[in-house]
Amino acid sequence: MNHDSPDPGQCSVARPIIALLAALSWHAGTLAQSSAEPQLIDVIGVKAPLDYPYAKAHAAALKVREQSGGTVALSARLRDRAPPSAPPLRVTLEWDETVLRLPLDSLGRFVIPIDPQALQHNAVMTANRARKSVALDIDLVPVWHHPELRPADVRSIVEGGRAARASLLPWYARWITPTVNALRVCHVHARSGFEWLRPDSAAQTLTSTRSQDEFGREAWCIELDGVRDPLPEDAQLRLPPDSTLELTGSLI
């Protein structure tokens, strides 16, 4: 049976994390906690970096990739506060005569690239906004480009997220930052659940829960940790096209 809301004890880890900002040496403003979702850590008033040295962002992104085994990436989101008349938000990586435009999703997020050439040439990351018109969030996001997920894959992503989080957070920040508990999979049309298969067996369905995906759309979601899931070890969970994946957790 489908439910109307997600487990209130869970929250998205792909949210602003103050200690990650510290790890990147970006200036952070005051902390506030969301009243609608009391376990989300939010960063208010973080100034967007203009001409920020790419070497620092590269070091953090490389650490995340190495510690997670490539299952998690470091991404940034610029929350645009510019007036509607402003040109579209643009983020670039620049050095010498080279200008690389970083692709943004509909939320203004981009994965921090790991580019040896940009690092070698002392590149900078820039945005076409004044500091006061944007705020910066840092996220840990799953890296997965396959149409199926196995329990072993889920464990790798969740464990990779935990390792990446631990590598970036100082000990005192771990008490106020969500730990990584699970992988959340959502799709806007998965009302009937997510299909999974075993070798030489008929397809079965894993029940989904009505919720919202990371873009704020009504969607049908499941949470997996690769250990306590109702899936056999040799099962393959089918991911419909345009499924979204995010890490979830809770405060410890």
Domain ranges of the chain: 15-142, 148-250
Q: Poorest-confidence range of 16-20, 112-116, 136-140, 219-223?
A: 16-20
Question: In which band, very low, low, confident or very high, does the pLDDT at 176 lie, cut at 50, 70 and 90?
Answer: confident
Rounded Cα distance between 124 and 55, Å, is 8
The residue with greater pLDDT, 95 or 173, is 95
Tell me the C-alpha distance between 154 and 212, whole Å. 21
Q: With contact defined as beta carbons under 8 Å apart, do 246 and 73 qualify? A: no
Cβ contacts of 88 within 8 Å, gap of 6 or more: none
pLDDT given for residue 169 in this prediction: 85
Q: Please indicate whether residue 194 or residue 41 has the higher confidence score (pLDDT).
A: 194
At a CB cut-off of 8 Å and minimum separation 6, what does 227 contact?
Answer: 151, 155
User: What pLDDT was estimated at residue 124?
Assistant: 94
Band of residue 13 on the pLDDT scale cut at 50, 70, 90? low
Spatial CA neighbour of 231 closest among 168, 154, 164, 177? 154
Residue with tokens 């070890």: 233
Q: Which of 177, 181, 158, 178 is nearest to 68 (CA)?
A: 158
Mean pLDDT of all residues in 4-10: 41
pLDDT tens per residue across span 80-124: 888 888 888 899 999 999 999 999 988 889 999 999 999 999 999
Specify the pLDDT at position 234. 96
Burial class (CB in 10 A: 0-12, 13-18, 19+), 16: buried
Q: Residue 98 is encoded by which pair of tokens?
A: 């080279």
Mean pLDDT of 146-152: 97
Contact partners, residue 36, CB within 8 Å, separation at least 6: none
Give the pLDDT score at 138: 86
pLDDT tens for each residue of 25-52: 333 222 222 223 322 222 223 344 467 8
- The confidence band for 175, taking pLDDT boundaries of 50, 70 and 90, is confident
Average pLDDT, the chain: 81
pLDDT at position 24 is: 43
- In contact, 29 and 46? CB cutoff 8 Å: yes
Q: What is the DSSP letter of 47?
A: B
Alpha carbons 191 and 193: distance in angstroms, whole number: 5
**What is the sign, positive or negative, of the torsion defined by CA atoms of 112, 113, 116, 119?**
negative
pLDDT attached to residue 46: 34
* Alpha carbons 230 and 198: distance in angstroms, whole number: 13
> Nearest to residue 110, comparing CAs of 91, 93, 128?
91
